[in-house]
Chain A
Amino acid sequence: MKEFGYTIIKQRTIDYDQFNGRLLNEILLMEPSFKVCLSCGGCTATCSAGDLVNFNIRRMNLLLRRGETAELESEIQKCMLCGKCMLVCPRGINLRNVIMLIKKNISRNKTTKY
């Protein structure tokens, strides 16, 4: 590849026509309490990992619903599974299970076809 001194900037447009809802549907099926999240941000405010590094659980929800799986996979590795988010969640969502399911299903979906 020739060097021109500049590069093509990757588009940040999310094309919902190309959206693959497999991971989202699986999580909602396996942990139905996640359906009632109201994005209050309490989980993020109390997060142990978020206190140390740039990590935002509420954003995990957003990435999941946008189908941005690659970024979700790398970000979710920062969670320490301490469970403090579950203590403050006003909807009582089992967030630790959500995190575990996301990790497990991303890993599994890489090897199985939908």
Chain B
Amino acid sequence: MKKEGKIQVWQDYQKEIASDHYFYVRSCIRQNFFPGSEQTFLKILREELNRDIYENPHHTTCSGIGYHSDVVPFDTIQTIVARQFALMTEAGYKNLAVSCITSFGIYNEIIETWKEFPAELEKVRSLLKKATGREFEVPENVAHASDIIYKFKEDIAGKKKFSLINQLTGKPLKIVEHIGCHYSKMFPCKGVGGAEFPHVLVGMIESWGGEVIDYPERRHCCGFGFRQYLVMSNRGYSLSNSRKKFESMEPYKPDAILCNCPGCPMFLDRWQYVIEEMEGKTYGENGHGIPVVTYEELAGLVLGYNPWDMGMQMHQTNVEPLLDKLGITYDPKLKYARKDGKMIGSPMMVGCGC
């Protein structure tokens, strides 16, 4: 589709994103895969944008992975979600900020269910009251954390220390974006820009000086797919999905892959390492992989944060090629060092492109 057409679609799919006072709910898997991303998000909102964002340590999983794997019934997940809303209500917040794309889809699915079937809402209120004694209000605004960074992308651009410009060539960095399936494929109106041409990551890349690269399998799933990954013997399905995307994007020579879902960067990152081990194939330049970053990490890099403080050493496809292009200086010796100087231990498996 031509750019003019996309702009029309983007105008048709604009959502309201709250501007302050967020109740933040973390992602289960992101805290394990890329633990620095959520901390970076909180730091940006609190210290760079001076926004009020609160998180409650009693928050639990939304149980979305169990739900999508058919082991958690719908009544159960509704009640678990109602408990999260009760924590928000008790803390006096009305705007939900969701870190996880799966959770974002779950919250939207359940809220839409309650709109269509009010009896379900009353049933869940009753179940939660009996189980925990808690009461809750439905959030006034549900935004994914990437929506919030999108909303403040120009503020971040105003504070940036680095632009998405290749310092070696002077040209904009070529970045491919990958949107989590549950962000807007289920409810197009809940995503900035709709399902076909989401603008949420495109907006960030363009505002910070980069160039978005289109490629044939752009909207294809990363391959996480819950049941494709949870059982080891099924993981070939997951791996093959990611490989399909890598093969499709490779001719366009992207400098980085940007994701807004907790699962996608994990798989697009890890599978590059696995494909290198299985086939000896790498998709980046000079035998490197294509660095995969989250939108919080990219925002942090633009704002001049130390990549090792953001946990970017946890990536299995090394991010150094991207850091070099951005002109960010880093000390390779400190890659696996804690802030107090002690080493956290280097990985036994060597990352992709080493």
Contact = CB atoms under 8 A, between A and B. Distances in A.
Chains A and B come from one and the same complex: yes
Nearest to B234: A6
Interface string B227-242: 0000011111101100
Interface residues of A, number: 9
Interface stretch (B75-83, B205-213, B271-279): B271-279
Q: Is the interface of A mostly helix, strand, loop or mixed?
A: loop
B243 interface: yes
B233 A1 contact: no
Interface residues of B, number: 15
A2 B240 CA distance: 17
Interface of A: 1-2, 4-9, 11
Contact of B239 (A2, A8, A11): A8
B20 to A, nearest CB: 46
Nearest to A1: B278
Contacts of B234: 6
A96 to B, nearest CB: 40
A8 B244 contact: no
Interface of B: 232-237, 239-240, 243-244, 274-275, 277-279
A4 B279 CA distance: 13
B240 A11 contact: yes
Contacts of B275: 8
Contacts of A1: 277-278
A14 to B, nearest CB: 14
Given A5-B232, A6-B234, 16 more contacts: A1-B277, A2-B277, A5-B233, A5-B235, A6-B232, A6-B235, A7-B236, A7-B239, A8-B236, A8-B240, A8-B243, A8-B275, A8-B279, A9-B236, A9-B239, A11-B240
Contacts, number: 33
Nearest to B277: A2
Top 5 A-B residue pairs of the complex, sorted by shortest distance between their CB atoms: A6-B235, A9-B240, A6-B236, A2-B277, A5-B232
B234 to A, nearest CB: 7
10 contacts: A2-B277, A4-B274, A5-B233, A5-B235, A6-B232, A6-B233, A6-B234, A6-B235, A8-B236, A8-B240
A58 B57 CA distance: 64
Contacts of A11: 240, 244
A15 to B, nearest CB: 11
B239 to A, nearest CB: 6
A5 B244 CA distance: 20
A11 B239 CA distance: 12
A17 B278 CA distance: 27
Contacts of B240: 8-9, 11
A63 to B, nearest CB: 23
A9 B241 CA distance: 9
Contacts of A2: 277-278
A8 B166 CA distance: 33
A8 B232 CA distance: 13
A15 B239 CA distance: 20
A5 B274 CA distance: 11
